[in-house]
Amino acid sequence: MSLETLVEKLPGVAEPRLFTQQDFDGYVMTTYARFPLTLERGAGCRVWDTENREYLDFVAGIATCTLGYAHPAMVEAVTRQISKLHHVSNLYYVREQGELAKWLVEHSCADRAFFCNSGAEANEGAIKLARKYAHTVLNIRQPVIITAQASFHGRTLATITATGQPKYQKNFDPLMPGFVYVPYNDIEALEEMVAAVDSGERQLAAILLEPLQGEGGVRPGDVAYFQRVREICDEKGILLIMDEVQAGMGRTGHYWGYENLGIEPDIFTSAKGLGGGIPIGAMMCKSRCDVFQPGDHASTFGGNPFASGVALAVCQTLENEDILSNVRARGEQLRAGLSTIAQKFPDLIAEVRGWGLINGMELKPEVELTSPQVVKAAMDEGLLLVPAGPKVIRFVPPLIVSAEEVESALQALEKALVTLTK
């Protein structure tokens, strides 16, 4: 279905005219390869398009709509805050921002929080904080941050440089200096890189990793690997930064992905699910790394009353309704169902993996079928999914998804695969 059913109400015109896909492409830059679907409304884990067709949403704004759509807690928070105070400058104290920071600190290993608007901005803040720490505490003149191949940390110049995927960096050089890359979950390669960096003119300042690589194919971190990473950082006095933008806020069955690994980072970031779909990001750190001073970093919109008030409602709902228990139970159900489907299609599916409600199904490299093709076929069956690279299908439903909805999603996926393999 195209955008031809979207209606634009023009001033002074009695009958509204159709706003077509061609109109859309004429006004909006083509930075996305969009699926031919226009969503109009949602409730819970379901959305409806402009032709009133219903879909079960296992995309959730790409792991963002934590409580699904039209959740009463969010509706109440949005309504209350927009009618009271939606934005003020960070030149003043913002009560809602302070309350949100308090909740995050009390439910994590952090001591302080800085608020911004997105995951990329949160990671930018973490990179800046690590660099200042390197200069002012470690006396490093040319700091280096190690990141992982197949990682994803954002779209700004610094964060695409931190991202260990050349396809995101192409044609945007010169890139930011100060980053080197190692294979994910490969401790030998990491130790070799640590030694190589410190043998040159530059010095290692931090290691930046995702607890589970999302865009890189839904690859969970290895416990032994991350515990050794923590040891290396402690031995050298450098910082461990965890990018929790996709894995955080309860998606793995814990509030934070690092809790699955038995370690604590020095700095970690959040966005996506933090506001349940309202834009907000956060960079959090231990007090010993909080070297920022007034003027070092800022954000006009970061932590404003509206975004902070809604994010706090999302956080409190996760806690008060024990949604983490649902994440763990539904995640086990989903992985078991995906594994059963994989057994039915042994020539097609290579692996099922994930934590909680962030899961991936990888297609075998030798098959011609791609993840976007599976996503499109599932859409035809009323199920929304999202690729995580050309061969991995990602399952990231709202954290309130029910057992019945997980079963419906599995049935729709199997129908789609049958259609594709006829």
For β-strands 179-182 and 203-209, DSSP reports them as: unpaired
Residue in 100, 96, 76 with CA at minimum distance from that of residue 88: 96
CA distance 412 to 376: 12
Query: Helix (H, G, I), strand (E, B), or coil: what is residue 197?
Result: helix
* 19 is a catalytic site residue: no
CA distance 11 to 8: 10
CA distance 357 to 254: 11
Max CA distance (Å), the chain:
73
Is the separation of the CB atoms in 354 and 218 below 8 Å? yes
Beta strands in 44-193 (DSSP E): 46-49, 54-57, 112-116, 143-148, 179-182
* 415 is a catalytic site residue: no
Query: Helix (H, G, I), strand (E, B), or coil: what is residue 56?
Result: strand
Alpha-carbon Rg of the chain, whole angstroms? 22
- Choosing from 115, 152, 226, 292, which is the catalytic residue? 152
403 DSSP 8-state letter = H
Does an H or E element contain 395, and which?
strand 392-395
- Choosing from 58, 114, 115, 243, which is the catalytic residue? 243
In the block, which residue shows the tokens 């994590």?
108
* 344 is a catalytic site residue: no
Is the separation of the CB atoms in 396 and 60 below 8 Å? yes
DSSP line for 257-288: GGGGTT---SEEEE-GGGGTTS--EEEEE-GG
Is the separation of the CB atoms in 41 and 47 below 8 Å? yes
Give residue 89's Cα distance to chain centre: 27
- Choosing from 226, 272, 292, 391, which is the catalytic residue? 272
Task: Return the active site residues.
Answer: 152, 243, 272
